[in-house]
Chain A
Amino acid sequence: MYKYDAYDTRIIRERAAQFRGQVERRLSGEITEDEFKPLRLQNGLYMQLHAYMLRVAVPYGLLSSKQLRKLAHVARTYDKGYAHVTTRQNFQYNWPSLEDVPKILDELADVEMHAVQTSGNCVRNVTSDPFAGIAQDELEDPRPWAEIMRQWSTFHPEFAALPRKFKIAITGAPGEDRAAVKFHDIGVRIVKNAAGEVGFEILAGGGMGRTPIIGQVVREFLPKEQLLGYLEAILRVYNLSGRRDNKYKARIKILVTALGIEEFRRLVEEEFAASYTPDLELPVGEIERVKAFFLPPAYESLPDGASQLAAFKLAPERRFGQWVTNNTVAHKVPGYAAAVISIKTKGIPPGDVSDTQLDALADLADRFSMGLATTTHTQNLVLPDVKISELPQLFAALENLDLAEANYGKLTDLITCPGLDYCALANARSIPLSLEISERFDRIDYLNDIGDIAIKISGCINACGHHHVGHIGILGIDKKGVEAYQLQLGGSPGNDASIGKILGPAFAEDEIVDAVEKVIVKYLELRDSAEETFLQTVRRVGLEPFKQAAYEKAPAAAE
């Protein structure tokens, strides 16, 4: 994990002090809310329906146990005793007071954390694969590059007032994109060219929100040392030419679509050629310096755990067996596995973790996972380096914490935005819907039978719940003052990127869960084998059978 040096520390401390001054000037009235808003947004502080909301950055999703403890402490001391994992790998607090935020930022700085640029029209948190560094299919670890991009983008003076927010993601696994790079303003894929050199494929213009668009390739192969220079060129073209007349047309995806990828690429390459100087080239020394923080930890030399894993899956203790089957992920080092901690327990808003649980997870990270954890885009946590032989003890500890749901990747592992219960932008509530859906499908055998499926719920068209890329996506809307829900099917965020298609007219609040169930039942009916996933069936048969099922008035097949 990256460790701050004196420069990094100073930069974050100075920022916390700067914001303290800005808060004081806000509270004294020297600056108005209108002037303060962009400043507080650059520090991740929103004003929501009932309170401020502070979004803490978790760069590329990586956390140390020390940081988990600090997050617990902040939740306990300055908030209502919990924190929320977001769909961009960050953490959110829903109830801090403005007066406390400078103190919170100071405390976060103590453990090398901050809330810089987690909001506002600037470059946001660089996200990546929660299994970075350990995944078997990884070409190269994306985290050092994510850290290099983080430093480059932090307080970048030229790009502090972009037309709109800017999100970058990087993946290091060519076969499966777990970072959704095709739906980011800039997506970076680590690739190998014909000569066997490792470099980057750069995509731009992807995004969700009002106008979901899949990103396009701007540069097929970029030598590694040119990464920052190339990003500067893209950002400069966007800063100068992105629309500023209409907030809803201001993202780079609109610019890329309007210009066409050929012209956009031409502008970027022209700017790159004119502005790339030796100073912008990444020196080998810096690349090595940052990579050194991400070297593999001191793994023990263990026998291959495959047979032990298989035995666990068939364990007489069924809950443990289910959990190993569903919630562990293959690790590149023999004898190890990654364990997914599902933050999706019945009755609890998805992604909400209490301070007690955060403290306990810190202890578990220390005890079982070399002191590290990661956050996922699906509002879960991962302990990446667990010895297979210790899975039983870890499971027992998680059960004590109500964090042992064996539903990773299954129907009740849904994601949702905070929605109208919290968010000033929302049109409808989303959390109650997610709770209802989880309640309706709360049977592990049924969940396993349905298999892998991703339900994503957004409370408004801004799509923070990523509903466009849900296998089932639900969008909450305001239909003449009443909450209603639009259903769409067939979205996917990975390499096989697709945007979900709306099934038909919106459902009422008391109809939507039935509609989802009808869709599920229809899938079970239509799939050509138990192995065909929901997404595969939808792609094979199309929307029509599901549309008919969802809107038919008769009740769903019993049991």
Chain B
Amino acid sequence: MQHKGATHWIVTANFTASGAVAYLREDGSWGQKLAESRLFADEEATKPLVALAQKTQQFTVSDPYGIDVHVGESGIEPVTKRESIRALGPTTPIRRPDSGRERLPV
């Protein structure tokens, strides 16, 4: 995968109720889209918001933390493979397709 250098930081977490990946938006709310993330200049800048979320938003999100990202022509891209997979989903088939032949021969 592309392993570009970091240009910014963002804050991510998981939604408490659904477990889905969450990204902190500009207006302080949490969304599911990486592209909507509020950008921070560096890791230090994310820390107060991470702490705030841990303290006051436990019913919305769990385990917030900052991650480094690369912002370029293709928009916001995570630097690590792990965060890339969190943003885009598993790289493998999610459900076994039914063969369509499940009726037992009588």
Contacts and interface: CB of A to CB of B under 8 A. Distances in A.
A–B interface present (Cβ within 8 A): yes
Interface of A: 26-29, 32-33, 47-52, 80-82, 95-99, 345, 347-349, 352-354, 356-357, 360, 363, 396-397, 400-402, 420-422, 426, 429, 431-432, 435, 481-483
A429 B63 contact: no
A32 B19 contact: no
B86 interface: yes
Interface string B46-86: 00000000100011001100000000000000011110011
Contact of A99 (B18, B94, B101): B18
A354 B102 CA distance: 11
B96 A80 contact: no
Given A33-B58, A420-B81, A99 B99 contact: no
A400 B82 CA distance: 37
A356 B97 CA distance: 10
Contacts of A400: 99, 101-105
Interface in B1-60: 3, 14, 16-21, 54, 58-59
B102 A51 contact: no
The 9 tightest CB contacts between A and B, nearest first, are A52-B19, A421-B90, A29-B59, A51-B19, A354-B96, A33-B62, A431-B92, A97-B18, A400-B101
Contacts of A357: 96, 98, 102
Nearest to A435: B92
B7 to A, nearest CB: 16
Nearest to A81: B95
28 contacts: A29-B58, A29-B59, A32-B54, A33-B54, A33-B58, A49-B21, A50-B21, A51-B19, A52-B19, A81-B95, A82-B95, A96-B19, A98-B19, A99-B18, A349-B92, A352-B95, A354-B96, A354-B98, A397-B105, A400-B99, A420-B81, A420-B82, A421-B92, A422-B90, A429-B81, A431-B92, A432-B91, A481-B80
A396 B105 contact: yes
A400 to B, nearest CB: 4
A51 to B, nearest CB: 4
Contacts of B94: 80, 82
Given A348-B96, A354-B96, A435-B92, A51 B105 contact: no
A99 B92 contact: no
B14 A47 contact: yes
A421 B96 contact: no
A420 B85 contact: yes
Nearest to B21: A50
A334 B101 CA distance: 33
Contacts of A99: 17-18
A101 to B, nearest CB: 10
Contacts of B85: 49-50, 420-421, 429
A29 B54 CA distance: 11
Contacts of A52: 19
A50 B18 contact: no
Given A52-B19, A420-B85, A356 B90 contact: no
Contact of A49 (B3, B16, B86, B99): B86
Contacts of B19: 47-48, 50-52, 95-98
A359 B71 CA distance: 47
B105 to A, nearest CB: 6
B14 A481 contact: no
A421 B88 CA distance: 10
A47 B13 CA distance: 11
A356 B102 contact: yes
Contact of A33 (B16, B89, B90, B105): B16
Nearest to A357: B96
B70 to A, nearest CB: 12
B18 A47 contact: no
Contact of B58 (A32, A48, A349, A429): A32
Contacts of B103: 400
A80 B90 contact: no
Contact of A80 (B58, B81, B92, B95): B95
B99 A481 contact: no
Contacts of A396: 105
Contact of A47 (B62, B97, B102): B62
A338 to B, nearest CB: 21
Contact of B17 (A27, A345, A356, A397): A27
Looking at B3, B17, B18, B92, the one whose CB has the most chain A CB atoms below 10 A away is B92
Contacts of B104: 360, 363, 397, 400
A354 B93 CA distance: 12
Given A33-B16, A397-B104, 13 more contacts: A27-B59, A33-B58, A33-B62, A50-B20, A50-B85, A51-B14, A95-B19, A347-B93, A357-B98, A397-B105, A400-B102, A421-B85, A421-B92
Given A363-B104, A396-B105, A97 B17 contact: yes
B4 to A, nearest CB: 11
Contacts of A421: 85, 90-92
Contacts of B59: 26-29
